[in-house]
Structure 1
Amino acid sequence: MDLDPARLLLKPRQTGESESSPMLIAHLIHRLDIGGLEKVVADLVNHLPHDRFDHAVISLTEITAFKERLHHPRVTFHALGKQRGQDPAVWWRYWKLLRQLKPDLVHACNLATLEAAIPTRLAGVKRFIHAEHGRDSHDPDGTRRKYLLLRRFLIPWVDGFVPVSRDLHDWMLHTVHIPPEKIHPIVNGVRLPPVPNRSRPGTDPNRPFTIGHVGRQWPIKDPLNLIEAFFQLRRSYPETPLRLILVGDGPERPAIEARIAEYRLADTVHLAGWQNDVTPFWERFDLFVLPSRAEGTPLTILEAMAHALPVVATRVGGVGDLVVDGQTGRLVPRSDPCALADAIGEYLFDPARRAMHGAAGRERVAARFSQERMIAAYLALFLGVSVTKDQEF
């Protein structure tokens, strides 16, 4: 089916709806903060047709300043104050909130919210959609028995499961054993920016080759893998001016700082911290690197490709659906800094390869991973429109 949002808007309103009563979607997440799935929620709130949808964003824990990125005129925010570990009382608070809000459907994201399926039903909400943007950090391969049993037990309570990658789709189908009719693949998408004006190394003798990374500094993201690879590059090419910029923050930062000090990299590694606007960094990078141990469909890779950057990344999760090895970048095994350093090294002295792979990545995003395509797919799902299940990854 054609997923043109304009055409989907022609669908008649459901029984009981009036022109003055938009559909209310409650988006349930663990914490509203900077991150990939949170950006997807923000895109849905901002870009789904405002005359058809109102939104409530419910965080199990807290709401941060990230809420300023959500621009819908009728979006509300609700923090439930969940305590660390088990906090059964949070579901009582959640149930009471739904009784007040009376949403038409709940769109929940990732494992932390899956238990909400039962109180959602008990609150009288007719539809519960659960999206998987990546497996839990304590279960990166999706094989932990207690989580599998929980997912299987809750299948009858969930109307639809959304995997954002082929890896997650196949895992849902063959490992969790979710019925195929309940699985609705929707890949992440990003806005295509203007063609970047990026000065290349060599045009300015004082400009180093700049390797960039954007992401949370968590163990599962393995930023130390990138530090190790960069250290090896410095040893292999001591006369080549190199620079590494890491945008983001998290619990791994002290370990990163310690490794930078140990390897005496302070003059060439810049920790930029959290940034409200990453745009200026994309034009400073010559290459983007993602060193993760596990991923769903990382928006940072799509954003890098949209900015015409070649990408070197670990072959995990849905990364292989995005990066075409040898055409838009390079894929390497996870937790292998030698392989990561070698792949980065392929681009250091080959500007033609960088330009060709960067352009190919941008074209790939435009064709298959646009924000418009993602929004249209969610629009169809939320409206209950029947769409094809074989969306390309």
Structure 2
Amino acid sequence: MRILQIITLCELGGAQSVVVNLANSLSKDHEVIVAAGEGDGKMWKMLNTNVQKVSVKHLKRSLSLISDVQTGLSLIKLYREYKPDIIHLHSSKIGVLGRLVFPKSKVVYTVHGVDSIRVAYRKYLPIERMLQTRCKAIVGVSSYDVHYLKEEKITYNVCLVYNGILKPVILESNPFNFCSQYKRKILCIARLSPQTNLELFLKVASLLPQYAFIWIGNQHEVVEENLQNVFFMGNIPNAGAYTNYADLFILTSNYEGLPMVILEAMSYGKPVVASNVGGISEIVVNGENGYVVENVAEAFVEKIKYILEHDEVNKSFSEKAIQRFNEDLTVEKMVEGYMEIYKQ
């Protein structure tokens, strides 16, 4: 098959990780083209050399009549040039434009976190409802997403495929030697945005000064005054591999789909303490491989201390994390799920 994967932004992020993992895996047996719009371009570096890469110059996240019309024309040209058998759209902006332009019989649309539409950008819900029949399948990445898509009257051919990853390549040396004076290292990988709730992360860190709190994924220098035990490392490739050198993974989000960063942490057997949002509770099970909690600093602190101060608990959570990852969250499982949809 000739498969065209399209995403709005070409920077590093959870949805981009899905595209990269899908494209690289599918390219072993199929012809794969990846197209994307604005961003820092770091996603391109993660794709295999046999994946064709196409930059859609006018594709932007923000609304712009001129840019969106130009993008539509570019998509038509792209379709005529490659004549793909499958067109897989990722993220809401290209999900709208792609469904308007491409033949619906070839289109699969993945919603990477229904709350990005249902909560953060609710004013666009009528457009999602109107376009739901302009594709062959709408994919949620968690049961939570599938449930709330249907609650919002988006019911046409909705199905579930959990995200999956390849275990990140191990780094040659410990990247956290700069904070070796701290008893434990707690890692968060996320972009800086209202969604990822930096304020809560800093509050938790302030209550646990004996631990180092490390944030990877900030797109710019954090200029506000921070605590001595908080470190920002920027937006770096292969960030998931850094999880191997942390003692625990934390995510303080206001909303999520099924975060790839948590899958990466589980692949290395790291306990997780995360916000009880989106589909996180489907893979982080309280008392088994971590905890999901309300977005209150004290709730995070209680669970972090319990895991890190009880060696047997920590060991058990680590084993259960790896087991769950191997059973359900590998890239092979994800590809298998999407291939079933593609074949239909």
TM-score by length of 1: 0.78
SS at match of 2:159: coil
> 2:90 corresponds to which residue?
109
SS at match of 1:245: strand
CA shift, 1:198, in A, is 12
> 1:30 corresponds to which residue?
8
Amino acid at match of 2:304: I
> 1:14 corresponds to which residue?
none
Among candidates 96, 108, 111, match of residue 132 of structure 1 = 111
> 1:150 corresponds to which residue?
127
Q: Does 1:344 align with 2:325?
A: no
Q: 2:219·2:235 contact (CA, 8 Å) conserved in 1?
A: no
User: Given the superposition, is the C-alpha separation of residues 349 and 50 from structure 1 closer, same or farther in structure 2, using an over 3 Å criterion?
Assistant: closer
Among candidates 102, 127, 130, match of residue 120 of structure 1 = 102
> 1:244 corresponds to which residue?
213
Q: 1:29·1:113 contact (CA, 8 Å) conserved in 2?
A: yes
Q: 2:249·2:272 contact (CA, 8 Å) conserved in 1?
A: yes
1:168-225 Cα shifts (integer Å, max 9, x gaps): 100122213313xx122100112347999999xxxxx955211111121211011221
Among candidates 51, 54, 63, match of residue 77 of structure 1 = 54
Shift >3 Å, 4+ stretches: 192-199
Q: 2:114·2:140 contact (CA, 8 Å) conserved in 1?
A: no
Q: How far apart, CA to CA, are the structure 2 residues paired with 1:155 and 1:270?
A: 43
Among candidates 67, 81, 96, match of residue 77 of structure 2 = 96
Among candidates 42, 45, 56, match of residue 68 of structure 1 = 45
- What are the equivalent positions in structure 2 for 1:219-238 lying under 5 Å apart? 219-234=194-209
Q: How far apart, CA to CA, are the structure 2 residues paired with 1:325 and 1:197?
A: 33
User: Given the superposition, is the C-alpha separation of residues 322 and 316 from structure 1 closer, same or farther in structure 2, using an over 3 Å criterion?
Assistant: same
Q: How far apart, CA to CA, are the structure 2 residues paired with 1:211 and 1:35?
A: 20
CA shift, 1:323, in A, is 0.2
1:29-61 Cα shifts (integer Å, max 9, x gaps): 11111111111111111112533x212222133
> 1:46 corresponds to which residue?
24
> 2:315 corresponds to which residue?
355
Q: 1:195·1:307 contact (CA, 8 Å) conserved in 2?
A: no
User: Given the superposition, is the C-alpha separation of residues 156 and 76 from structure 1 closer, same or farther in structure 2, using an over 3 Å criterion?
Assistant: same
> 2:155 corresponds to which residue?
178
Q: 1:111·1:135 contact (CA, 8 Å) conserved in 2?
A: no
Q: 2:184·2:247 contact (CA, 8 Å) conserved in 1?
A: yes
Q: 1:290·1:314 contact (CA, 8 Å) conserved in 2?
A: yes
> 1:17 corresponds to which residue?
none
SS at match of 2:133: helix
Q: How far apart, CA to CA, are the structure 1 residues paired with 2:186 and 2:86?
A: 42
Q: How far apart, CA to CA, are the structure 2 residues paired with 1:76 and 1:206?
A: 44
Q: 1:62·1:79 contact (CA, 8 Å) conserved in 2?
A: no
> 1:210 corresponds to which residue?
185
Structure 1 regions of 5+ residues with no counterpart? 1-22, 200-204, 235-240, 385-393
Aligned identity (percent) is 23
Q: 1:50·1:72 contact (CA, 8 Å) conserved in 2?
A: no
Q: How far apart, CA to CA, are the structure 2 residues paired with 1:382 and 1:105?
A: 7
CA shift, 1:371, in A, is 1.6
How many aligned positions are there?
A: 334
> 1:332 corresponds to which residue?
293
1:296-342 Cα shifts (integer Å, max 9, x gaps): 001111111111111000000010111001111011113x2222222
> 2:64 corresponds to which residue?
86
Larger-Rg structure: 1
Q: 1:212·1:285 contact (CA, 8 Å) conserved in 2?
A: yes
Q: 1:47·1:375 contact (CA, 8 Å) conserved in 2?
A: yes
Q: How far apart, CA to CA, are the structure 1 residues paired with 2:163 and 2:109?
A: 15
Q: Does 1:374 align with 2:334?
A: yes
> 1:258 corresponds to which residue?
224
> 1:311 corresponds to which residue?
272
> 1:281 corresponds to which residue?
242
Q: 1:135·1:296 contact (CA, 8 Å) conserved in 2?
A: yes
CA shift, 1:272, in A, is 1.1
Structure 2 regions of 5+ residues with no counterpart? 175-179
Q: How far apart, CA to CA, are the structure 1 residues paired with 2:143 and 2:63?
A: 30
Q: 2:2·2:31 contact (CA, 8 Å) conserved in 1?
A: yes
Amino acid at match of 2:224: A
Q: Does 1:269 align with 2:269?
A: no
Amino acid at match of 2:243: W
CA shift, 1:154, in A, is 0.8
Amino acid at match of 1:302: L
